[in-house]
Amino acid sequence: MKRLQLIFTMAVMILATSVMAQKRAITGTVTDADTNSPLPGVNVVVKHTSSGTVTDAYGKYTIQATDQDVLVFSSLRYASEEAKVGPKNVIDVKLTADVRALEEIVVIGYGAQRKQDNTGSISTVKRGRKANQKNESVAPSSVYDSSYGYSSNLAPQSFDQQVIQHNTEGYSTIHENEFKNPTDAPLSTFSIDVDAASYSNLRRFINNGARPPVDAVRIEEMINYFSYEYPQPQGEHPIELVTEISDCPWNSDHRLAHIGLQGKKIETDNLPSSNLVFLIDVSGSMSSPNKLPLLKSSFRLLVDELRKEDRVSIVVYAGAAGMVLPSTGGDNKKEIVDALDRLQTGGSTAGGAGIQLAYNIAEENFVKGGNNRVILATDGDFNVGSSSNAEMERLIEEKRKSGVFLTVLGYGMGNYKDDKMEILADKGNGNYAYIDNIQEAKKVLVNEFGGTLFTIAKDVKLQIEFNPEKVQAYRLIGYENRILADEDFNDDTKDAGEMGSGHTVTALYEIIPVGVESEFTRSVDPLKYQKNKVQVNNSQSNELMTIKFRYKDPEGDKSKLLEKVVVDHNVNLTQTSDNFRFSAAVAEYGMILRESKFKQDADFDSVIELAENARGKDEEGYRAEFIRLVKSSRFLAVR
């Protein structure tokens, strides 16, 4: 009898321990103890684990933890705080500014971090060594385990010496589009861009108290971060074209032309089956809380959206590449999440090998008529094998012929390679987002699930012809790295951008009307051998421009053409749609951040007034967040 009682008691204890150890969602808000304002970008980590997340723009977080866990809250300029989970489901924390912490911050170019956090691949200078002596490089080595992926077998070294780390973030140089005379250049041709990485990346800089580098500011990606209320396509084509023309907010003598494209919205239940390959960077550079821990949390959100007919494989890469999860049904969510949870960081970064393997697996499990896609999550710091921008471009151009699309998700700071990831997305029939917090992950992978992962039209190009009797000069705002040669518009072999289910794409042209004096209009000597003649009937026409756009079906090779004539009806700015005014506000803000020579009368107050009067429904609060961001920018030092 006693033996039975003992067995029963032990069973109860085991059951109780099991219940206590069950993870659940812990939520909360982190605020400044002095001002009570929310703190974005705070690292929230389960103590003694690699499980963590980052607070969103409202200081909110969600993390999986057990009763026995302790949460650690840390951020630059603040003293860290710990909180025992216990039975609580909501844990709010106030952080206090720490003068000592400020003194310990090491400036590393565009970012900053504490000296003790500088681990992994860094340069060190020890006391007593000569300044010209060769620096030492320290990095954890790694070993590949077929069951658990990559894990570090050497703990990062601690340093009590001075640490110097140089910022190595990479951005492609942007040369802003100039004003063009339609007599000399009547056509403007470009590829659409649905990427939105630039906006969330520059938000990360501003939330950290710094202005972003000018080449990190891509205005078209800022504009297209936001959705616009365009009408759904009604005819045979999956894209609807809308236009508006009114006063230019930063120069009332100029006109602003707004061009919007609306992709057909397909309900999730009607979307084709997915064959997804998660390609995850687990190299040593991904160890910080805003990299692999945030990445895992992001992919858990995506896994929750999968259906039974969807399938997922997981490939990881560090010093080499390997598959940690074969193609698995979307209804086996626990198996997929468990594979994600086992991932740890360590080693160098063989990104090229990872891409090769991921595409091979996607091709092996190819679903005809389905959504076949590689989702690459990384900081872009490739340093083993194919790694240069040119090598990566050739590799991804070859792989896109397989019919497999690409989504690129960027994480982290300090060594972030925006230029490399933008190339991958642009050349790989894909899209590109930067994930700076869990709220952004939810936006990209949950709220915009269809648009991010399901292509409805590929190789979408626009070509605009301007009437020289009405237009003295025009300038495309942004899209500098998407400009096409005029003859590329009719060439179906030329690659262009893709649109996903429900996606919107917006482009703006600043127009100098005929007869308006401007510092931006320039003339050349008369031609000797030919003359540019204007059609006589144009002077009698109210047409300002003609828009043509081409697209292909996702599995098609031949493009389809649509055309629309645009007339300027002299609509006052106050009478325009929220779409027009808000996109104009974002463009104006982008020119301020870029310190553009074309910003003219642009200023923060104008941006705020425009945006506040054009918030519309704003159900997710993205436009309200934009306004707060602009207000914060006013207090940042000019470079």
Measure the CA–CA gap between 322 and 342, rounded to whole angstroms.
14
111 or 445, higher pLDDT: 445
Residue 449 three-state SS? helix
pLDDT value at residue 20: 46
What does each C-alpha distance from 133 to 126, 130, 534, 626 come to in angstroms?
Answer: 10, 5, 69, 47
The most confident of 394-398, 415-419, 576-580, by mean pLDDT: 576-580
**Is pLDDT of 607 > 90?**
yes
**Residue 22: burial class (beta carbons within 10 Å; 0-12, 13-18, 19+):** exposed
Residues 87 and 199 in one domain: no
Within a domain: residue 631?
no
Query: Once rounded to an integer, what is the mean pLDDT over residues 275-298?
Result: 91
Measure the CA–CA gap between 167 and 115, rounded to whole angstroms.
14
**Is pLDDT of 630 > 50?**
yes
Residues 291 and 333 in one domain: yes
Would you say 471 and 510 are in contact if contact means Cβ atoms under 8 Å apart?
A: no
Confidence class for position 346, pLDDT limits 50, 70, 90 = confident
pLDDT value at residue 137: 31
Degrees to nearest 5, angle at CA 291 with 100 and 80: 25
pLDDT value at residue 538: 55
The most confident of 167-171, 436-440, 634-638, by mean pLDDT: 436-440
Within a domain: residue 436?
no
- Domain end position, chosen among 44, 73, 97: 97
Residues 276 and 386 in one domain: yes
For residue 38, which of 87, 95, 79 has the smallest C-alpha distance? 95
Within a domain: residue 496?
yes
pLDDT value at residue 539: 54
* 95-99, 157-161, 164-168: segment of lowest average pLDDT: 157-161
Confidence class for position 318, pLDDT limits 50, 70, 90 = confident
**Is pLDDT of 133 > 70?**
no
What does each C-alpha distance from 131 to 125, 219, 259, 404 come to in angstroms?
Answer: 8, 42, 57, 51
**Is pLDDT of 262 > 90?**
yes
DSSP states of 460-479 as a string? EEEEEEE-TTTEEEEEE-S-
CATH assignment at residue 91: 2.60.40.1120
What does each C-alpha distance from 610 to 125, 151, 196, 572 come to in angstroms?
Answer: 50, 50, 21, 14
Residue 581 token pair: 């005014």
For residue 459, which of 521, 400, 516 has the smallest C-alpha distance? 400
Residue 553 three-state SS? coil
* 6-15, 227-236, 342-351, 532-541: segment of lowest average pLDDT: 6-15
**Is pLDDT of 452 > 50?**
yes
88 or 149, higher pLDDT: 88
79 or 312, higher pLDDT: 312
pLDDT value at residue 457: 93
Q: How many structural domains compose the chain?
A: 3
Residues 463 and 326 in one domain: no
498 or 148, higher pLDDT: 498
Confidence class for position 534, pLDDT limits 50, 70, 90 = low
Within a domain: residue 145?
no
Confidence class for position 298, pLDDT limits 50, 70, 90 = very high
Residues 262 and 275 in one domain: no
pLDDT value at residue 168: 80
**Is pLDDT of 139 > 60?**
no
Residues 307 and 248 in one domain: no
Measure the CA–CA gap between 353 and 322, rounded to whole angstroms.
9
Domain coverage including residue 508? 187-266+456-520+537-607
Q: What is the mean pLDDT of the chain?
A: 83
**Is pLDDT of 383 > 70?**
no
**Is pLDDT of 461 > 80?**
yes
CB-side neighbour CA atoms (13 Å) of 120: 17
Query: Once rounded to an integer, what is the mean pLDDT over residues 150-179?
Result: 58
463 or 386, higher pLDDT: 463
pLDDT value at residue 4: 55
* Contact partners, residue 387, CB within 8 Å, separation at least 6: 349, 351, 352
CATH assignment at residue 337: 3.40.50.410
* 64-78, 121-135, 414-428, 537-551: segment of lowest average pLDDT: 121-135
Within a domain: residue 298?
yes
Residues 255 and 337 in one domain: no
Measure the CA–CA gap between 281 and 295, rounded to whole angstroms.
10
Residue 583: how many CB atoms within 10 A of its CB?
28
Residue 133 token pair: 């002596």
- Domain end position, chosen among 53, 81, 97: 97
pLDDT value at residue 58: 78
pLDDT tens by residue, 54-65: 887 678 899 999
506 pairs with which residues across the strands?
A: 260
Residue 13 three-state SS? helix
pLDDT value at residue 166: 52
**Is pLDDT of 130 > 50?**
no
Residue 407 token pair: 């989504």
* 255-259, 443-447, 520-524, 619-623: segment of lowest average pLDDT: 520-524
**Is pLDDT of 438 > 70?**
yes
Regarding beta strands 471-476 and 504-513, do their DSSP bridges make them parallel or antiparallel, or are they unpaired?
antiparallel
Query: Once rounded to an integer, what is the mean pLDDT over residues 432-454?
Result: 89
Measure the CA–CA gap between 399 and 553, rounded to whole angstroms.
19
Query: Once rounded to an integer, what is the mean pLDDT over residues 447-463?
Result: 90
DSSP H helical ranges for 510-621: 578-594, 604-612
Confidence class for position 104, pLDDT limits 50, 70, 90 = very low
Confidence class for position 40, pLDDT limits 50, 70, 90 = confident
**Is pLDDT of 165 > 60?**
no
pLDDT value at residue 638: 57
CATH assignment at residue 548: 2.60.40.1230
Return the CA Rg of the chain.
26
Within a domain: residue 120?
no
119 or 379, higher pLDDT: 379
Within a domain: residue 108?
no
pLDDT value at residue 109: 37
Residue 257 token pair: 């032309």
**Is pLDDT of 582 > 90?**
yes
The most confident of 112-116, 285-289, 596-600, by mean pLDDT: 596-600
110 or 559, higher pLDDT: 559
**Is pLDDT of 570 > 50?**
yes
Residues 282 and 405 in one domain: yes
Residues 500 and 587 in one domain: yes
Residue 340: how many CB atoms within 10 A of its CB?
22
pLDDT tens by residue, 483-529: 999 999 999 999 899 999 999 999 999 999 999 999 998 777 877 88
pLDDT above 70 covers a percentage of the chain that reads 81
The most confident of 43-52, 230-239, 517-526, by mean pLDDT: 230-239
Strands (E), 249-387: 251-263, 274-281, 311-317, 321-329, 371-378
Query: Once rounded to an integer, what is the mean pLDDT over residues 607-623?
Result: 94
Residue 509 token pair: 């042209």
Residues 343 and 398 in one domain: yes
**Is pLDDT of 2 > 70?**
no
pLDDT value at residue 348: 65
Strands (E), 267-320: 274-281, 311-317
- For CA atoms 393, 399, 405, 410, give the dihedral sign: negative
Within a domain: residue 176?
no
Residues 197 and 227 in one domain: yes
Residues 331 and 389 in one domain: yes
**Is pLDDT of 603 > 50?**
yes
pLDDT value at residue 489: 97
CB-side neighbour CA atoms (13 Å) of 268: 14
DSSP H helical ranges for 160-267: 197-207, 219-223
